[in-house]
Amino acid sequence: MVPKISTLSGYLHEYQKSIVHPEIFWERIAESFHWRKPWEKVLEWDFNKPEVKWFVGGKLNITENIFERHACMKGDTPAIIWEPNDPSEPHKIFTYKQLWDEVNKFANVLKSLGVKKGDRITIYLPMIPELAIAMLASARIGAIHSIVFAGFSAKALAERNNDAQSKILITADGSFRGPKTIPLKQTADEALHMSGSIEKVIVVKRTGQQVRMKEGRDLWWHELMKNAATECKAETMDAEDPLFILYTSGSTGKPKGILHTTGGYMIYAAYTFRNVFQYTDGDIYFCAADIGWITGHSYIIYGPLLEGATTLMFEGIPTYPKPDRYWQIIEKFKVNQFYTSPTAIRSLLAQGEEWADKYDMPSLKVLGTVGEPINEEAWHWYHNHVGKGRCPIVDTWWQTETGGIMISPLAGITPTKPAYATLPLPGIRPVIMDADGKPLKGNNVEGSLCIEFPWPGMARTVWGDHQRYKEVYFTAYPGKYFTGDGVKRDEDGYYRILGRIDDVINVSGHRLGTAEIENAINEHPLVAESAVVGYPHPIKGQGIYAFVVAPARPGNLDEELRNSIRQGVAKLISPIAKPDKIQFVSGLPKTRSGKIMRRILRKIVAGSSDYGDTSTLTNPGIVNEIQKGFEALKDG
């Protein structure tokens, strides 16, 4: 087990040590794990190149650190509790020993299909146990998993298959989501027409619906598993060998394949899990995210399982069959730590207090949030109605790229403040930069959030495009990692995350690039061009507002066109990327070099009329027109 901090002075002491002697600090954490060969050097780094290597020369396997390491003490402890979408279907429990057997079996299946160390495997599954088994089996044999959230479209799936050049796709016949049954295999089939590298498709039977199985390519999971052996020796991995790719949106271009490696990610996920949630052996921990996002990777699977914890995996949605499903699950399994997004909290708050008030939830000790800024109202509701005023809230700030939590209270240790992520974890050195690229010293400052020293969990590159990794994260402030977020440090030295300052919008805690959505809108035959910005939304945090130029559209069919644009975006990206509002405009505010001035559009949708300097626009008159149209749409 990793060292656990238990007091505020302990935190301050560890933080100090981690800054003065980072290598000694992280080495001590790494020593809690099983290494097949020890490292020769703790850290090699250069943020200008950029290049970061942790535990150079060390050899290990992350699944050996989950299964072999815990076999003796935790073999019969529940590793995963799986709760299905439909509460009348029985839940499932996998002990560490049982999960190990399943992982080994599937690892052998993958090997029998010719999968080798370094090969990429795309996993496109709903929240069923096979998703956890597939990812761990991939890690067992040294393959690189690329998990694609099951809500993504065929086009988005194909793009990811192609970028990673995946050999294998793992999917299901269908998925259950609240009252709906979703034909996942059908979407996968559509993607497969455009995914040349995929050789075999493994299909889990979940819904039992009719699917097309292509002879020689598509194989049933249960048939492959029937005779698979339960022994599979873990592949020896270098500390810097890739563990997984996870695609995430940025301000420009297509989603980037963020690459995480083995040794550093392992120790960072485990250390942050144990300390932030103050997990104690025997606790039941429930993170309500989807494994298709980084939160699920690090804090449903890797972090908890590395620490021998019991992690609860939920297939469904918070409002099915009733808006008390989370509270019901918490009481049913006596959950001790609960981790979700501010959007989920706001949407449950909007359903009325009585749903949470009916449940005492005496088992709860810690509440967590992640993915977006939490507003004070939601924070207090969570604290009072879910935590009954007795559970600390950990507001955890981090990113796909950071691999694990970076700025957060330690539960019950760090004094909290609503809407503040509070203080950096040991080993994390945040700096706030001003508009001129100078670090802002002292308290009561606001600027761009950068990190000035490497940490073990950080992404090492963008898959297949190291140049892009450099441009996006290490160019704006040379020698520093740039997060894309704005931040404030208050009079107590506490950090408050203010949200993205680039062209990324955060809708219900999901990251979307405005360029990505614009490209999808522009595919519509009646659209000439478009500009997308985020606007404050009471539940989702940010909503998607699209300004669309469609000069040749039929005069009285605006609502129909809006729907057809939305359908197009759902098809090209995902239903989560559908614009909430679409305003037709005759043109967009542009600079002489042809760039859209999104700054002005952002002001308009935020209800401000302080546009700043508009003199560089080629068409300044358009601002007034757009402003009037905005008011009309709001009132109409």
Judged by the rule CB under 6 A, the positions of this chain that interact with ligand 7RM are 248, 293-295, 370-373, 395-400, 421, 483-485, 497, 499-500, 506, 509, 511
Residue 109's φ and ψ, nearest 5 degrees, are -60, -50
CB of 497 to ligand 7RM, least distance (A): 4
CB of 295 to ligand 7RM, least distance (A): 5
Which residue has 């297509």 as its token pair?
A: 254
**What is the separation of C-alpha 465 from the centre of its chain, rounded to a whole number of angstroms?**
21
Q: Which is nearer to ligand 7RM, 291 or 565 (CB)?
A: 291
Q: Which is nearer to ligand 7RM, 70 or 510 (CB)?
A: 510
Q: Which is nearer to ligand 7RM, 119 or 395 (CB)?
A: 395
Q: Which is nearer to ligand 7RM, 147 or 550 (CB)?
A: 147
CB atoms within 10 A of CB 363: 15
Q: Which is nearer to ligand 7RM, 100 or 339 (CB)?
A: 339
Nearest by Cα to 203 from 167, 232, 163, 174: 174
Which residue has 């989950």 as its token pair?
A: 66
CB of 4 to ligand 7RM, least distance (A): 22
Give how far Cα 445 sits from Cα of 82, 147, 428, 432, 433, Å. Answer: 45, 38, 19, 8, 9
CB of 421 to ligand 7RM, least distance (A): 5
Q: Which is nearer to ligand 7RM, 170 or 258 (CB)?
A: 258
Cα distance from N-terminal residue to C-terminal residue, the chain? 59
Question: HSE of 28 in the Cβ direction (CA atoms, 13 Å)?
Answer: 11
Q: Which is nearer to ligand 7RM, 379 or 630 (CB)?
A: 379
Q: Which is nearer to ligand 7RM, 269 or 622 (CB)?
A: 269
Instruction: Indicate the SS3 state at residue 47.
Output: coil
- Token pair in block for residue 303: 């972090």
CA-only gyration radius of the chain, Å: 24
Q: Helices marked H in 323-476 — which ranges?
A: 325-333, 342-349, 354-357, 376-381, 466-474
Q: Which is nearer to ligand 7RM, 421 or 520 (CB)?
A: 421
Q: Look at the alpha carbons of 136, 402, 408, 397 in this order and tell me if their dihedral is positive or negative.
A: negative
Give how far Cα 262 sits from Cα of 134, 258, 273, 337, 428, Å. Answer: 17, 13, 17, 26, 19
CB of 81 to ligand 7RM, least distance (A): 23
CB atoms within 10 A of CB 70: 21
Quote the crossing angle between the two packed helices 598-605 and 621-635, to the nearest 10°.
Answer: 30
Pairwise CA distance, residues 596 & 530, whole Å: 9
CB of 58 to ligand 7RM, least distance (A): 27
Q: Which is nearer to ligand 7RM, 187 or 343 (CB)?
A: 343
Beta bridge partners of 521: none
